[in-house]
Amino acid sequence: MTVLDILHFPDSRLHQVAKPVSQVDDRIRQLVSDMAETMYAAPGIGLAATQVNVHERIIVIDVSEERDELRVFINPEITASSEDCKLFEEGCLSVPGVYAEVERPDRVSVRALDENGKTFVVNADGLLSVCVQHEIDHLNGRVMVQYLSRLKQSRLRARIAKAERELG
């Protein structure tokens, strides 16, 4: 297994829309295993392939306390969303140190393929619901900071640019 490099905002590659996986084969399973390794090493609770510069629709998530419940979603689709929404302060491995309050549907149903190419459906609530919606956004080229006001976004860009200059 390999720990992959994670792209950081404002890298334009984070805005590329990922393509569906046409066949779940050994190449995909290797990528899933590397993505899981990368997520656990970070450490994070979710990672989308887009964040490691692979533009295919694959997500790994583990919201368990013991860090032993890996969930893999290939070609995930939200098939139903609750009307009631919730605000949650989200972080992102591609935007280290930044937290943004994002409002999303409280519960979603997600249909996806597992590592064996088998379809499954999960009814997600709580942290899993937030996380799966956040990661599907990544596959669609959307980064959580895009939920911030324009003013906050431009302040954030300025802060990142300054930090990069200081690092040389």
CB of 70 to Ni ion, least distance (A): 17
Q: How far is the CB of 103 from Ni ion (least distance, A)?
A: 16
Confirm whether 135 is a catalytic residue: yes
Where in 72-101 is the site for Ni ion (CB under 5 A)?
92
Q: Would you say 8 or 111 has its CB closer to Ni ion?
A: 8
Using left for φ > 0, alpha for ψ between -120 and 50, and beta otherwise, residue 110 falls in beta
Residue (42 or 122) nearer to Ni ion, CB: 42
Q: Give the residue among 119, 125, 143, 114 at the shortest CA–CA distance from 28.
A: 114
Angstrom CA distances, 58 to 17, 80, 133, 141, 163, stand at 12, 19, 13, 13, 31
Bridge partners, residue 56, by sequence: 19
Q: How many residues bind Ni ion (CB under 5 A)?
A: 1
24/48 with CB nearer Ni ion = 48
Q: Is 49 in the site for Ni ion (CB under 5 A)?
A: no
Residue ranges that bind Ni ion, judged by CB under 5 A: 92
